[in-house]
Each structure stands twice: as structure tokens, then as C-alpha cells.
Structure 1
Amino acid sequence: MNRIGTRGVLAILAVTALAGCNRAPAIDPAADGGIGLDPNNWPSYGRSAGEQHYSPLDQIDTGSVPKLGLAWSYDLPASASLTQPIEADGIVYTSTGHSYIRAFEAATGKLLWEYDSKASEMSGHKLRQGYGSRGLAWSGGKVFIATQDGRLIALDGKTGQPIWTAQTVAKDDNAYISGAPRVFDGKVIIGFGGADGGGVRGYVSCYDAATGKLLWRFYTVPGNPAVDHDETTKLAAKTWHGEWWKKGGGGTAWNAFTYDPELKRFYIGTGNGYPYNHALRSPGGGDNLFLASIVAVDAATGKYIWHYQINPGEQWDYKTTQDITLATIPIDGKPRKVLMQAPTNGFFYVLDRTTGKLLSAKPFVKVTWATGIDMKTGRPIENPGARYHGRDLFEMWPNIVGGHSWLPQSYSPKTGLVYIPTIQRGMIIGDKGLDLSKEQLPVHPANVNAGMGVTGSYLPDFKDQGSFLRAWDPVTQTARWSVKLPGDWPGGTMATAGGLVFQGRIDNRFNAYDAGSGKLLWSYDTRSPVVAPPISYAVGGKQYVTVITGTGGAGGGYHGKGLQAFEVDYRTMARRVLTFAIGGTATLPPAPPLVPRVAPADPDFRRDDTLAQRGNIAYHIACGTCHGGAGMAAGTAPDLRISPVPASRDAFFSVVRDGALVPAGMPRFDDLPPDQIEAIRQYLRTLGQDLPKAK
């Protein structure tokens, strides 16, 4: 069979099944991605061109799933492990930490090769942005990876040897890559992040998969109209005001890329602007295209076709970087080619992917910033005051992490439902008293954007907060069923032709639900949180399910406070590749003992609340996203309240200023003034000594 790695060509096809494994149900064409995509492989992030996160295999189904057992496991070192593996031709590939790649024999777990991209060491200040690699892709015998420092690399899938490397962003700007590349029709698509720290103009690049040659580039925000004459600047500059290009504009596309081979188009989901505050970013207003938009471009040339903007003049970090799912569903009794997205602003959108016309939009979580979407104009009906200009801090839903973060939803053509890992949480936001004439960042690039006061997910607790697995009907725009989940950081989902939905949980469970009813059918104690999305594939007529344990991403920082009850510890948390099959009999060792959250030894500590308060502010700008609000980490990085490092000035400066732990993923803050480093150290020591004393 001619396999077209990741994106394939969409077509209605009957899948030739492995005997006893895949009975080839009648499925939507977007589920398999087209002619040549082997149903037994999972070679890309969403598996197919439609980004459905759906497997057509059904050996593991509602009847046999209780017999699912562990087939093999592999222990990973401490690092960010919140990534999805891929599988092709009997080999499972993983990317953990900052693009450290491993290849395993899929049926046995035998390690075949390893490749270290050295991204941590090569990233410099870019290491302050992002949380490591979120995925990789396979096509034509090559494995494609993207690194924090902006390299796109093609590896030989059999040996792990580099074939070519392309530098996709400048080495000294604020752009970085965390998302998975996508491959289609011999081309590789990659974007980048960085609009939370400033100084970048978003774009998406397309490369030749065989050679690494740049084929085209589409800018997601306009440049300086006086010198930039690209298509985006001509189309979008009139929707901006001031001199936005001096700050870059933002609009980075770091996660949502979907290829439509039927229409030969590519759909790009774009991010927030820089700075967040509309008044600071674009004085005089304007929609600021193409921020917070889904943009359709020609796959061969990168030329603009259409766009839909979810939040004109976006200023809440509401973005369309969540996965874009393709499907054919009945609208008004007729099949309609659609794209579906549950972005961060809390509304579920269904668009006609041929024209970009909005077909429907309804809230899937609690929303207070708008009352709805105007179906005539496609624009949101914003509530008075939602733009927060001149307002004291007030409560607004959803928060900056969003009603749905980047962890993927899945879609089953059999049930017609979208399975969304949802987050229901508000934020406290406002800009009264802020000096909007300038950016006030104590370190560049910072981990917190400029121009608004926001507590985001750090504080406070809200009455209706929580996370859910929601089965969403995109035709009726209603929840068919919903499962309350522990904590505020739900795992990515996978649907299968066996009538199942798989999802991991922060409380060390990996679950399988009935896709039609939401009934829990199977649960496994993973001894560690599971947040990464799983995959399924078949080798030798046997279906497998693989997932990576451990937490990371924004979950351990933004949601650290809400995850304290689960006592997730960066240093002791087990990170493993787990692979399951019917009849599997392998076992896991017991979970390590919990690390007591007690005051560390610090005999020289002297309380200085004034210095600690200065450190509080500097810490939450430079450190809180990874190490947690108020020091309450939950797996993304070590809990510094119980660390012995802050007690030693030499050790703390060695790590923070000199970069002693850069190879482990801890960035160097050599531009942070020594007095601010000392203030952060005092703040952390104070937090530590306020913990209960060891008994």
C-alpha cells in the first residue's frame, strides 16, 4: 500500500482491514485523510487530514475494552512529557522535553534509537517561552520535528539520523516552536509561538518535505505598510492603527493547522496580539486582522482565500489556536463540508469550509464576556464593559487559558459527536491605573504580556469552576453528555470506531468511555497523571493504545493551585510511555512516596515582607507560568517552596542568572537585575518557611 504519511488526500474510501482487527465501518472521509493512509497507522498529530483524533480500528470496542491490559512500558527521564506520540510502519515515535526523540518497536517497546536536538542549549532566551515539544509527524519514511529554537528537522525514521534542517525563525527574536509540524502532499507546514512576550509578527511557513526548501510563507498580521507589500499587509493593514509593526503585532499560529485535500486548502488558527490590550496595541481601534482568526489559504501557493475572526479587536487572549476539525455533517437536512472549533473564548463554531460562512456558534462553557454571536454579521455580541478599558478588576469568564486549551478534542463519524476537554474557570481582569503609554516589563522577553491587570488562573477560586469531558453535538449545538473531571487541566481525547473515547486524568487514571453515553467502561491506574492525548494503531493484526504519562504545559503553572490536592511533584512524578492491548499482562511498579510539603531547612532566613512583596511581582512575571502561582507548582517545574536551592544565594544565582540548569529546560535570566533575583529568592524563602514544619 502506498502510504501518504500524515495529511493524505481526503476521499470517501472503503478501508481494507486487517482480519479480526478493523471491520471498516462506514465513516466520514475526513476520518482517514484519503487514499493511501493505512488505517493501522497514526502518523500525525490528529492522525488524518481532518484532525479528528479518531482511529478507524475497532478490535478494542465497548465489549472487549474490559480485557485491555498493559502490553509494555518505558520509563522516561524528568522533563516535560505532555506530548502525543505517533506511529508508522510498526514504530512508535515520541518527543519529550525539548524535542528529545525516541523510536520504539511498537509491539514490544524495544528502544530502537534516540535523537537529542539540543534545543534547550540552543534556545537562549527563547527557552523562557513555551513548555517543550507538543508533537511530531511522519511521512515517506521521515520523522519531522520542530524545536524551541525554531529549527524544522527531518530525521530518517529507521535510524534517527538528520536528513535536513531548516531555520524557520530568526535566532535572536522572541519566536519559538512548541507545536507539531503537519505534512501533506510532499509539503511540511510549521508556525511558531511568542506573542505573549512581544516582538514577533506571526507567520506560517511551508517547506518541501524532501529537501527542506522554503516554498511559501503566509503572514498572519500585517507589517509596516510603507515597506511591506505582502498580501496580508495589503488586506489587513487598514484594520490596524498606530505603529503596531514596531511591536510585531503577534498573531502567532503555533498549534492549529488542518489540511483539506478535497479543496486543496490549508486552515490556520491564529493567536492573540501583542500587547494584549487593544488600546495599547492599536490606538484608535480596528478589528486587527488576522488575530484570533481561522484563515483559509491555498495549499500550493499560500494565497489568502477567506477568513473568519472570532474576536475582532481581540484583547483577552481569546484565540483560535485550538485544533480545527474537518467533517461532513447534516445541516438543514443536507450534508455540509464543515470545520469545527472550540476556541478559548467559550463558543463552539461550525463553519462552511468552502466559503468560510458561519453556520452556528453556541457556548460550550460558562461565558460572560458576550451574550452570543450575531448570525448575520458573524461578530460577537459583547457585554458592556467586557473590553475593560479604565475598569477596576472584575470577574469575567472564561479565563485566559480558555474554555478549551490546546489539548485536542476528537470527533467520531460514527456518533457525530465532538469530545472536548473543557475548562470552566473565570478570571479577574481590568486595566485601571495601568500606564498604557509604555510597556512595563522588568525582563525581556517576559512570560506575561503587557497592558492589562489579570489574575488569569492563578487566583481566585470560583464557585462554578472545574473541568469536564463534554460530548458535543455540532448539529444541535448542545452537550449530549458530560463527565466531571478532577482538577482544572483535562487531558486530550481520542475517539475510536470501537465506540470508545479515551482520556487521561490528573488523578493517575487512564479511562475509556462509551462514546454514545459517556458510561465509564475501563480505567487503569497509571501511577502518574495522564494529560497527553493517546493514539491507537495496529501491528500484526493486534490493536494497541499508547499514551505518555506525566504532566506539563500550562497545567502545572496556571492551574498549580487547583491541582494541589493531587500532590503532583516534578521531581518524583513517573513519566512513562504506556502501551495497552487486549490481554496485556505487564505491570507497573508502585507510585513513589509523596514528597511532603514542609518547610525546607533554611537556618539563615530572616523575614523581610517588603522585599518579599517585590519578589512576588517579579516572580509571577518571570517564573509563575511554569513554577505556579504563589509557588504552587504541579508538575511543569519543581515546587520552589520546598526546594533547597533558594536557601543558598550562590546556588540560586547559579541557576537563575548563570543558567546552570539550561540543559534540563530551566532558562537563564541573565538580564534580570541582581536585586530582583534576590527579591524573588526572598519571596520563595518566605513561601517555604510559611509551610508546616517537618515533624
Structure 2
Amino acid sequence: MLFLSRRAALTAVSIVALSLAGCTSGPAPENKTDVADIGPAGWLAQLADGSDGRDWPAFGRTYGEQHYSPLDQVNAETVKRLGLAWSFDLPAGNPATGPIEIDGVIYFASGYSVARALDVRTGKLLWSYDPKAPEAAGHKLRQGWGSRGIAYWNGKVYIGTQDGRLIAIDAKTGKPVWSTMTMGKDDLRFISGPPRAFDGMVVIGNGGADEAAIRGYATAYDAETGQQKWRFYTVPGNPADGFENKAMEMAAETWSGDWWKYGGGGTVWNAITYDKESDTIYLGTGNGSPWNRKIRSEGKGDNLFLCSIVAVNAKTGAYKWHYQINPGESWDYNAAMDMQLADLSIDGKPRKVLMTAPKNGFFYVIDRTNGKLISAKPFVTTTWAKSIDLKTGRPVEEPNIRYEDGPVTFKPSPAGAHSWTPMAFSPKHGLVYIPAIDLQVTYDDTGITRENWKRKPGMALDYGVNANVQPSPGAKVLSYLVAWDPVTQKEAWRLPTPGHFNGGVMATGGGLVFQGHPDSSFTAYDAKTGGTLWNFDAKAPVVAPPITYSVDGKQYVTVIAGMGTSAGLFGPLLQQFGIDYRAQSRRVLTFVLDGKATLPAKVPYKPQAVDDPDFKPNAAAAKAGEDIFNVRCAVCHGGGAIAGGTAPDLRTSGAILSPEAITSIVQDGALVPNGMPRFEELSAEDRENIRQYLRTRSDDLRKGRP
């Protein structure tokens, strides 16, 4: 995560780059599954990549995380008849989350992991369960935005919460079955990524390495009881305490200094994939903590297993192999973006592969049986490395890319060439469809040394390097939908998409690719050509990944509309779309052929500065307040105090007129249940300086200044 100076924020953006019942019987799927594993209705068989697509029982539909369904009732010819079947309004909170569907019931967790079940046929709410995560989170509430997804296993749905719990819920009743804490109560970690369920277990990671001294890990639990089965740490701890396994002993040889005091990083905050055939779990790991390797590891070593794909035994968590995307990570180029499994013919030979498009801009095809790199090519403009050496698997880096000789500017940015919104792979067309981002970054650690850097307490954003993210000069297109051939490593087609951040992708057997956008469009494209075949005005931004499934012989498409998670942090780049935290709609939208439902008109929004007749400029106080805001508040309220829909735009808030109101909110925690954390350590002077900064930004808005 990173934030810019006010000047940079006004021309670009301050961001977080992060950098979460049985079914009806039907025809036997083509994929063969042991009868003992199928269960009475076959829900387990739906998790196989070759299944018939009747349900969507996992975040990526299947174990292989392809975000593909073979259903073809909605196709290139019929999609023009696709209409809204029903909508379901949601309260304020994060709606950018991936739902699942089993046996005619949609399950999802929005806001701070509030789980709900809806009837597909009617849109009726069947139950809801609120874990009250904000109230339990304490300082963990200061980062993260709630759940990005949900999991299912044998009649139970699973949610991870901001405060670190993994909770199993009865899918029929909505009542909790068990709950376990996946981290220390006072650890400065949080959960935002979706759990994954497999083979009677549930696995979950966590985030927090951008803000605290975190050592990454993933943990597997018994799906029926919540008992811990195994835990795999992704970076080594203090050698004096001994190593958990040979993998950690090996990894420690790639670190220098007293790295464990800095945490190390490598959190498994998003990407987890299960390979049933080899009984392997693949973990996608995050950036270093802090980002700057000069601080955390004396500027030395590969720092395993940062920014890596790590394969472990699914039953025991024992290390199998790893492939490191960015050795010696120094840029938040984490490898936590979705990883998809496929069987491809490469050079005339069948290969079992893992495919991923991480933040660094290269598309990787890796042999998933042994971790050997097959190919890697850039799918966006990349200027940090010339190429990836296929013999060593290592990037051929450009000079000064580690900012050892002063500031350096390159692409992509730590916002990623690809963020958490998932890509999709169509086995029918042999293409991967990637929601790509095109921004640049300038890194500069001038004046920051291992000796003088000290992490700010209380989950503040502090990377050990200044990072300024912005569009390239003169750039008019900041994001794309890229269709990529993983065999030839060539682009099939590319479409510009609105804004800098585009939504999760789904591909179907009907020859369609579905994707939403921050301008409120939800679109179906021709999978072969990229031509637009259907478009729906969702009356709200759409960044969540869509799903499709079949009930009573009808194919449905569901997506959740509304701005949330890291997508909403680029306030300056989103203001053209008029997205407001308070005014925007958040809805579950479900479509079917010949659907006739409609949505209320969207109320146009333009931010209006709060009336502040007593305002008096104070540049020194405003600058002091801006410095605090950038490391404490901008993560939700946006760079330059220009919000993008994830949290209220404070330039328009009456609370900034009253010292008492600010104290009640910031110090006393009056809005904790709404997701606004306490910052009790801030002094009265700090709070007043923040208030002066926000009043100054409100005055800028009032007078038309950027």
C-alpha cells in the first residue's frame, strides 16, 4: 500500500496496492470422481475443472480457479436477450466480493464479512449472519476492507473476518457451527481474502505486512471441527528459536541481518489454489516487510519465500517446491494474484501448468508438478526488467531498478499490472482474460537508511521507501482487458477499459467474457474477438467477479455491484465517475434470458464542500495534518482526501467543522461499528491538524482548486 504527497495525489492517486446445502441431482459430469466423494447430490463433483457447471461452489468455481463455466445457454446469439431477473439491495460496506452458488442458493459475504444467503429463483433473503468484526477488530480495523469471498464444504459456508476469525456457518440455517482464531488476538494482521475449501479442510492466510512486523503464513483447518491441521510459514523466523522445518532453514540462508525483527512479510493474503490430482496446495505470497530490502535484509539475498509460488502437501503442509517471481523483492511486486491450473499442449507435449499474471507485468506459465518455469512474457508495458531468463527463472533487471543510485521511474506500479480482481481462463478458446492496469511509479529512498528507519506504530503505512504512483505523462487509457494465449505467450486482443481499475472476469462455454467497470457498465464480450455483445447499466460501479450457474434448466449470471476494497482508493482517478460512499447503490444483480426487472435511476453525484464560514488558512497545521492523514487515513478516505467510494469523502463531511465530533469519532471510536477505527494515540493537536487539513481540502473543493 502506498500514498503520495499532496502534490502527487492531485495529479495521480494515493493507493493501497495490495499491496478474501446439497444440490439437486443432475447428469454425471465428464470429469470422473470417486462415488464415495460425490455425496448424495454431487456438489463435490462440481469442484472439478471438467464439471458440467451446474453450480458455482468456490471462489473460482473449481479447484483450478479458472473462473470459467461450460454453460452455454447464454451465448453470443442469445446474450442480447439477457435481462435482470432481480436485484437485492445491500447496506453500506464493501460489496466487491465473489459470491458462490449451490443448489439454487447464492451465498456471499459483503461488508465486514456479513454472510447472506439468497434464493436464486426469487432473490429472497433466506438468512444473514453478522460476525460483528469491526467491534472485535481493534487496531486490525485500520487496514483492509472486509471479505473478498466465501467458501463452501459439505453443508457449511466459511468466512474469514477482519479480526482474524475463520467461521463455519450452517448453509441451511445461517447459524455458526464453529469459530477459530487464526492469529494472535493482538497481532496486527487481518483477513480480507476468501478462504478455500478442499478435501475436508479449509485454508486461509492473512494480510498486514505493509503496516506491521508480520511473518506470513497460511493455515489449514478441519472443515467439520475447526481443528488446526497444519500451518506453513512463508518466511523464516528468528534462528535462535529454531526452524519449523527444513524449508525454513533453507529460506533463512537467503536473508541477512536481523530480518525477523522487521517481520519479513510474505503474507498469503489472496491467492490459494488446490490441485486434487497431486494433492497439492499452491500459495501465492506477498511483498517484503518493509518493502525496502536495504532495511529488512541489509540489501542482500533472495529473501525466500517472498513474492513466490510455494507448493505444499495438502494433507500435511510439507514443502514441495517453490518458484520465486521477484528474488530480493523491493517493489511490492507480490505474487498473490490468482493462480490458475490447466493442461496445455506446449511444443507438442502435454504439460500440467500453473498460470499467473502477478503485479510485475509478466505472464508466467509454470510446470505445476515441479515448479520449473516454462515461459514468461510481459502482458503490459514493463520497464523494470528486460525479460525473464528461462534458464535461471530470474528477471533480467534494468539498471538502478532497486533505487540504489537515486530515484527511479518505471512500469508497472505496485498497484499492479494485475490486482486481486481475478482473471479467467477459457479451455474452449485457450485464452486467459486479464484485467490489466497501466500506471507507473517513482521509487526514492533518499535519506532513508537501515539505521534511521523506524516503523510507525499502530498499523500506519510505512514501506521504508517513498513511492509515487501516477499515470504516465499524457496517458489517456489506464486499464485494459487483455486476452492472452498462454501457449504462444502472445496477445490475442486488447480492449481499453474505463478508469484505472477494472473488475473481475468470467469466461463461459457460450463464447462470452463478462466484466464490470467503475463507470457502472457490466459487459459481455466475444471471447474470440473482444467485440462487445451486451452491456448493462448497473447504476453503480462493478468490480466484483461475476458467476454463472443453472437452476431449473435456466442459466443465471450474478454479480455484486458497488465500489469496495482497494479498487476504491484511487480517489483522484475515480472522481470522473461520481462514486460516493454514502450515495452509491450496492446490489446483488442476477440476470437470466428474457429477464424483465429494472433498477431505480442512478442519482448523479458531485462532491459539495461543507459550508465552513469560520475557516481560516493555516498552512503549517494543514501540512502536519496531511502527513498524519497520508499514513493513517488515506488508505480508506483517498489520496488528497479525494475518496473513491470505499469510505466517505471527508471534504463534504460536517464532522470536520467540530473538534468534539472529530474527537468522538477518532479518539472515542463512535463509528467503529460502521468500520471507522479508533486512533486513540493521536493527541488533541494531531486531531486538530488533521481537521485543519480536511477543512483546507474542503476549501480547495469549494473554490475549484485540485
Q: State the TM-score, normalizing by the size of structure 1.
A: 0.94
Instruction: Give the equivalent residue in structure 1 for 2:482.
Output: 470
Letter in 1 for 2:450: L
- Structure-2 separation of matches of 1:440 and 1:34: 48
- Structure-2 separation of matches of 1:681 and 1:309: 44
Unaligned runs of 5+ in 1: 15-29
Instruction: Provide the secondary structure at the position in 2 that maps to 1:455.
Output: strand
Correspondent of 1:565 among 573, 576, 592: 576
Letter in 2 for 1:450: Y
Does structure 1 residue 485 correspond to structure 2 residue 497? yes
- Structure-2 separation of matches of 1:622 and 1:642: 19
Instruction: Give the equivalent residue in structure 1 for 2:224.
Output: 210
- Structure-1 separation of matches of 2:473 and 2:626: 19
- Structure-1 separation of matches of 2:317 and 2:24: 21
Taking a change above 3 Å as real, the CA distance of residues 32 and 611 of structure 1, as seen in their structure-2 partners, is same
Instruction: Give the equivalent residue in structure 1 for 2:518.
Output: 506
Instruction: Provide the secondary structure at the position in 2 that maps to 1:510.
Output: strand
Letter in 1 for 2:400: G
Deviations 1:78-133 (A, max 9, x none): 11111111111111012111001111001110110010010011000001111111
CA positional deviation for 1:442: 4.6
Taking a change above 3 Å as real, the CA distance of residues 315 and 284 of structure 1, as seen in their structure-2 partners, is closer
- Structure-2 separation of matches of 1:518 and 1:370: 29
Correspondent of 2:682 among 672, 677, 681: 672
Correspondent of 1:169 among 176, 179, 183: 183
Instruction: Give the equivalent residue in structure 2 for 1:27.
Output: none
- Structure-2 separation of matches of 1:346 and 1:10: 36
CA positional deviation for 1:435: 3.7
CA positional deviation for 1:355: 1.1
Correspondent of 2:316 among 301, 307, 316: 301
Does structure 1 residue 575 correspond to structure 2 residue 589? no
- Structure-2 separation of matches of 1:435 and 1:58: 58
Taking a change above 3 Å as real, the CA distance of residues 440 and 672 of structure 1, as seen in their structure-2 partners, is farther
Instruction: Give the equivalent residue in structure 2 for 1:45.
Output: 59
Taking a change above 3 Å as real, the CA distance of residues 443 and 602 of structure 1, as seen in their structure-2 partners, is farther
Taking a change above 3 Å as real, the CA distance of residues 242 and 90 of structure 1, as seen in their structure-2 partners, is same
Contact preservation (8 Å) 2:307, 2:334: yes
Letter in 1 for 2:577: F
Contact preservation (8 Å) 2:30, 2:52: no
Deviations 1:640-685 (A, max 9, x none): 1111111111111211222111111111111223322221111111
Bigger mean CA deviation after superposition, 251-260 or 670-679: 670-679
Instruction: Provide the secondary structure at the position in 2 that maps to 1:480.
Output: strand
Higher relative contact order (CA 8 A, sep 6+): 2
Instruction: Give the equivalent residue in structure 2 for 1:524.
Output: 536
Instruction: Provide the secondary structure at the position in 2 that maps to 1:226.
Output: helix
Instruction: Give the equivalent residue in structure 1 for 2:18.
Output: none
Correspondent of 2:442 among 428, 438, 443: 428
Bigger mean CA deviation after superposition, 615-624 or 58-67: 615-624
Deviations 1:161-206 (A, max 9, x none): 0111111011101111011110111011111111101221111101
Contact preservation (8 Å) 2:49, 2:63: no
Q: How many residues align?
A: 672
Does structure 1 residue 688 correspond to structure 2 residue 703? no
Deviations 1:269-322 (A, max 9, x none): 000111110010001501000000000001111110100001111010001100
Instruction: Provide the secondary structure at the position in 2 that maps to 1:645.
Output: helix
Deviations 1:9-56 (A, max 9, x none): 998459xxxxxxxxxxxxxxx996439966211111001010000112
Correspondent of 1:452 among 462, 465, 488: 465
CA positional deviation for 1:2: 8.4
Instruction: Provide the secondary structure at the position in 2 that maps to 1:411.
Output: strand
Residue identity over aligned pairs, in percent, reads 54
Contact preservation (8 Å) 1:4, 1:36: no
CA positional deviation for 1:3: 7.2
Does structure 1 residue 59 correspond to structure 2 residue 73? yes
Instruction: Provide the secondary structure at the position in 2 that maps to 1:80.
Output: coil
Does structure 1 residue 618 correspond to structure 2 residue 628? yes
Q: What is the correspondence of 1:112-123 to structure 2 with a 5 Å cutoff?
A: 112-123=126-137
CA positional deviation for 1:381: 0.4
Instruction: Provide the secondary structure at the position in 1 that maps to 2:624.
Output: helix
CA positional deviation for 1:224: 1.0
- Structure-2 separation of matches of 1:242 and 1:406: 32
CA positional deviation for 1:441: 4.7
Does structure 1 residue 221 correspond to structure 2 residue 232? no
Does structure 1 residue 281 correspond to structure 2 residue 281? no
Letter in 1 for 2:105: I
Instruction: Provide the secondary structure at the position in 1 that maps to 2:179.
Output: strand
CA positional deviation for 1:463: 2.8
Instruction: Provide the secondary structure at the position in 2 that maps to 1:691.
Output: helix
CA positional deviation for 1:244: 1.1
Correspondent of 2:662 among 641, 652, 661: 652
Instruction: Provide the secondary structure at the position in 1 that maps to 2:574.
Output: helix
Does structure 1 residue 382 correspond to structure 2 residue 380? no
Q: What is the correspondence of 1:7-406 to structure 2 with a 5 Å cutoff?
A: 12-13=31-32, 33-34=47-48, 39-231=53-245, 232-392=247-407, 394-406=408-420
Instruction: Provide the secondary structure at the position in 1 that maps to 2:241.
Output: coil
Letter in 2 for 1:344: K
Unaligned runs of 5+ in 2: 1-20, 34-43
- Structure-1 separation of matches of 2:515 and 2:130: 29
CA positional deviation for 1:4: 13
CA positional deviation for 1:461: 5.8
- Structure-2 separation of matches of 1:660 and 1:442: 24
CA positional deviation for 1:601: 1.0
Instruction: Provide the secondary structure at the position in 2 that maps to 1:204.
Output: strand
Letter in 1 for 2:559: V
CA positional deviation for 1:233: 2.2
Letter in 2 for 1:319: N
Letter in 1 for 2:114: Y
Instruction: Provide the secondary structure at the position in 1 that maps to 2:436.
Output: strand
Taking a change above 3 Å as real, the CA distance of residues 268 and 243 of structure 1, as seen in their structure-2 partners, is same
- Structure-1 separation of matches of 2:485 and 2:45: 17
Contact preservation (8 Å) 2:484, 2:491: yes
- Structure-2 separation of matches of 1:661 and 1:654: 9
Correspondent of 1:662 among 646, 653, 672: 672
Instruction: Provide the secondary structure at the position in 1 that maps to 2:289.
Output: coil
Contact preservation (8 Å) 1:120, 1:662: yes
Bigger mean CA deviation after superposition, 32-41 or 652-661: 32-41
- Structure-1 separation of matches of 2:609 and 2:159: 41
Taking a change above 3 Å as real, the CA distance of residues 548 and 444 of structure 1, as seen in their structure-2 partners, is same
Letter in 2 for 1:350: V
Taking a change above 3 Å as real, the CA distance of residues 403 and 544 of structure 1, as seen in their structure-2 partners, is same
Deviations 1:237-259 (A, max 9, x none): 01001111122211100111000
Letter in 2 for 1:670: E
Taking a change above 3 Å as real, the CA distance of residues 413 and 607 of structure 1, as seen in their structure-2 partners, is same
Does structure 1 residue 598 correspond to structure 2 residue 611? no
Contact preservation (8 Å) 1:292, 1:312: yes
CA positional deviation for 1:229: 2.1
Instruction: Give the equivalent residue in structure 2 for 1:17.
Output: none
Instruction: Give the equivalent residue in structure 2 for 1:21.
Output: none
Deviations 1:589-639 (A, max 9, x none): 111232x32331112211001111111121111111211110111111111
C-alpha RMSD of the superposition: 2.2
Contact preservation (8 Å) 1:556, 1:633: yes
Taking a change above 3 Å as real, the CA distance of residues 35 and 515 of structure 1, as seen in their structure-2 partners, is closer
